[in-house]
Structure 1
Amino acid sequence: MSDAIRPFTIDIAEEQLEDLRRRLDLTRWPEAETVRDWSQGVPLAEARKLVDHWRNRYDWRRCEAALNRYPQFLTEIDGLDIHFLHVRSPNPDALPLILTHGWPGSVIEFMKCIGPLSDPAAHGGNPADAFHLVIPSLPGYGFSGKPKETGWKVQRIAKAWHILMTRLGYNRYVAQGGDWGAAVTTAMGMQRPEGLAAIHVNMPIVLPEGPYDDASPAELAMLEAMAYYARWDGGYSDQQASRPQTLGYGLADSPAGQAAWIYEKFWSWADCSGDPLNALSYDKMLDNIMLYWLPNTGTSSARLYWESFHGGFGAAELHIPTACSVFPKDIYAAPRSWAERCMHNLIYWNELDKGGHFAAFEQPELFVGELRKAFLSIR
């Protein structure tokens, strides 16, 4: 295994974009839903609007140039190439921070946060709040390599992230994540490698094993949210956790199918009052979708569910300094009472009044503020 860190520039061949346009032109649409809402999935009219924008108004080269403005690299860890952004702060005393996305996210989620986190002085903030940023793509996601063997569970990714941080020369750092990023970051906190000073998650993983007798109103609300997720919202995870390969044939072949698979989750999980465009523009959502379509990661990203979903989201005993931000429209709002049962060194807790599952994407200013406050006590 090489420890080399190789510069990386995104340069999508025009032939790939031409292929995408042809496939969009040839989309075979299903009939419309038999309801007047999203309860059967993305409505046909909404899917057509998204695909029309993608085909006729979306500009990938704009997104490509925006990503390429940040230093990007590849490095091999445990036999797999990991893609990451590495943005050093102009403040040499900045705190190193590794940010981990989830599904159906990508490094795109953090784009609006990079400047304020790495160079707060340039964005009206305090230079002392600066972070050196490392933003990797999960294995099988974005421009990271696709595992060719089983075993890439969240615990293995957590170990890989520590190798990445030490390889970059950071002997003391903090970690943050939401969704799968929360699972990876929590696993890092459980492993507690030398140098990891604290963690922050914006989807605290706190659900204890039952029974749930004498549950408080906040605890009952989480149980109800999880029951709703299991009945109405979790079909994607069941499929990805059980038959990701079968699913992948459709996602790899149909851009409209890949887009709808992700677009539904922006509707369901963003703080958008039933319309994803209230939270994110078509361009922003398609920037993220392109990081699944262009590198053809519908299947490889889904395999993380096969590897880790069952057993990857239970409450974990954490003794490392832990900070949590709860955004109200996330899949569930974690109650502090359950967090205190498993997070034994809770240094920060805040429940915000807006924002959903894609916190950094939806509310970058709030997200930046949360990270500054969360890690203030351990700088």
Structure 2
Amino acid sequence: MDENKALTPFRIDIPQADIDDLRNRLAHTRWPIPVPGRDDRADFSRGIPPVYLKELAEYWRDGFDWRAQEERLNEYEQFTTVVDGQTFHVVHVRSTNPEAAPLLLNHGWPGSFVEYRRLIPLLADEFHVVVPSPPGFGFSTPLSGTGWELARTTEAYAEIMTRLGYERFGAHGTDIGAGITGRLAGLYPERVIGTHIGCDPRWLGLVGDRFPCPDGLSDDEIAQLEAVRAEDAADRGYLGMQNHRPDTIGAALTDSPVGQLAWIAEKFKTRTGGDHRTPDESVDRDQLLTNIGLYWFTRSGASSAQFYYESEHSGVDLFMPSGVPSGWAVFDTNPLVRRVMDPWKAIGHWSEFTEGGHFPAMEETELLADDIRAFFRGLS
């Protein structure tokens, strides 16, 4: 029997009992005994500082209004659809512009469709915006089984665009979403108008793993590259757990909201621009907690980690070459990024911004929107 290809309207409505349970758990957190001297809220050298984590947890419990955020998210049309046995949640915002092109926005971890909440209105004048959640993320849960990794997800996204009636479309992505974006272009070059990638200097950590180190780097540039790679390696503890032991970390993330809060909020320190800012000084605090709340309410701290395990053990390369036009926007950049990532200057649209970081849709929304528009206008 053919799979049901229905697009089922969806509206976010977290049960009040779940919201009350979250507040109760936060009120009864069993805190670690602090290490003497760990009282600097901006000192992330050992991970998220306990004093700062308590601040966030108290606000999440007593100051944060999930219902208000839920109402904002529900302003956008949403639906669910089943592809290859897996339920996918999709945000779909139709433009009123008759000349609008479809644009797929692909996020990664620890992001969600919430990441694009402020970006969507800035794009809707030129694009029909589509934001799917990968399997195990947000409302693309529960997982239907094992085997949901980057390649299978890419094919599912192409099917979702077909169901929406979009034969040709553009794609933007960051993090895991950048891999999905590139793979869409590699598999479906006749369908993908162009790909736009948002990244930051942490991508230099892929040199040697995914990218060869280019010839001709000066001693100073090599030292800079090694410093960035060392910093990235020090920040990859989460990657080892999610790549190899998702069930172990998943239990803690599902049972402890403060554990989930710490696990994600720390990444909004280490991967955003601004060395001296706390996570909620780099991005809007309510948007950050809405994103984290989505992981909590859907139990996708555990299921999103499974995506890492599946991708790590699939043998599928994160990057797939194609002849589709590509644009890159590098945030919190330095000159070394292009020297290493695009030494031949093969990428026609290359933008560099000193602002922002790994989450440009949340950190520098207008810069990202302007760059996406400029790239796709250049293709028409």
TM-score normalised by length of structure 1: 0.90
Q: 1:79 to 1:315 in 2, by over 3 A?
A: closer
Kept after mapping to 1: 8 A contact 2:189/2:324: no
After superposition, the C-alpha distances for 1:34-92 in whole angstroms (9 at most, x for unaligned) are 55521111111001000000011100001110011110000111111110110010001
Q: Are 2:169 and 1:173 equivalent residues in the alignment?
A: yes
- 1:270 is aligned to 272
Q: 1:320 to 1:104 in 2, by over 3 A?
A: same
Q: Are 2:102 and 1:96 equivalent residues in the alignment?
A: yes
- 2:350 is aligned to 349
CA distance in 2, matches of 1:370, 1:312: 29
Q: 1:209 to 1:369 in 2, by over 3 A?
A: closer
Kept after mapping to 2: 8 A contact 1:218/1:335: no
How much has 1:137 moved relative to structure 2?
Answer: 1.1
- 1:367 is aligned to 368
Q: Which amino acid aligns with 1:102?
A: G
Kept after mapping to 1: 8 A contact 2:250/2:301: yes
How much has 1:227 moved relative to structure 2?
Answer: 2.4
Q: Which amino acid aligns with 1:224?
A: A
Kept after mapping to 2: 8 A contact 1:329/1:357: no
State which of 60, 69, 78 in structure 1 corresponds to 2:75: 69
Residues 77-226 of structure 1 correspond to what in structure 2 (within 5 A)? 77-119=83-125, 130-203=126-199, 207=207, 208-210=210-212, 213-215=215-217, 221-226=224-229
CA distance in 1, matches of 2:319, 2:13: 41
- 2:324 is aligned to 320
How much has 1:273 moved relative to structure 2?
Answer: 2.9
- 1:301 is aligned to 304
Q: Are 2:279 and 1:283 equivalent residues in the alignment?
A: no
Q: Alignment partner of 2:32: what SS?
A: coil
CA distance in 1, matches of 2:336, 2:188: 26
After superposition, the C-alpha distances for 1:170-189 in whole angstroms (9 at most, x for unaligned) are 11111110011111112112
CA distance in 2, matches of 1:222, 1:118: 38
- 2:256 is aligned to 254
Alignment coverage as a number of residue pairs: 365
Between the aligned residues of both structures, percent identity stands at: 39
CA distance in 2, matches of 1:68, 1:298: 22
Kept after mapping to 1: 8 A contact 2:280/2:288: no
How much has 1:272 moved relative to structure 2?
Answer: 3.3
Q: 1:191 to 1:219 in 2, by over 3 A?
A: farther
State which of 242, 245, 248 in structure 1 corresponds to 2:247: 245
After superposition, the C-alpha distances for 1:197-246 in whole angstroms (9 at most, x for unaligned) are 1111112867455465533566764443222211x200001100010001
- 1:378 is aligned to 379
- 1:292 is aligned to 295
How much has 1:338 moved relative to structure 2?
Answer: 2.9
Q: 1:158 to 1:55 in 2, by over 3 A?
A: same
CA distance in 2, matches of 1:333, 1:360: 23
CA distance in 1, matches of 2:217, 2:193: 33
Q: Alignment partner of 1:372: what SS?
A: helix
> 167-176 or 307-316: which moved more?
307-316
- 1:8 is aligned to 10
Q: Which amino acid aligns with 1:253?
A: D
Q: Alignment partner of 1:375: what SS?
A: helix
CA distance in 1, matches of 2:221, 2:338: 6
CA distance in 1, matches of 2:296, 2:214: 42
CA distance in 2, matches of 1:103, 1:61: 24
Q: Alignment partner of 1:30: what SS?
A: coil
CA distance in 1, matches of 2:179, 2:221: 22
How much has 1:280 moved relative to structure 2?
Answer: 1.7
Q: Are 2:49 and 1:43 equivalent residues in the alignment?
A: yes
Kept after mapping to 2: 8 A contact 1:33/1:44: no
CA distance in 2, matches of 1:337, 1:262: 29
Kept after mapping to 2: 8 A contact 1:172/1:197: yes
Q: 1:236 to 1:65 in 2, by over 3 A?
A: same
CA distance in 1, matches of 2:102, 2:355: 27
CA distance in 1, matches of 2:56, 2:336: 29
CA distance in 1, matches of 2:88, 2:332: 32
Q: Which amino acid aligns with 1:202?
A: G
Kept after mapping to 2: 8 A contact 1:222/1:334: no
Q: 1:269 to 1:159 in 2, by over 3 A?
A: same
Kept after mapping to 1: 8 A contact 2:199/2:357: no
> 262-271 or 304-313: which moved more?
304-313
- Structure 2's unaligned 5+ residue stretches are none
TM-score normalised by length of structure 2: 0.90
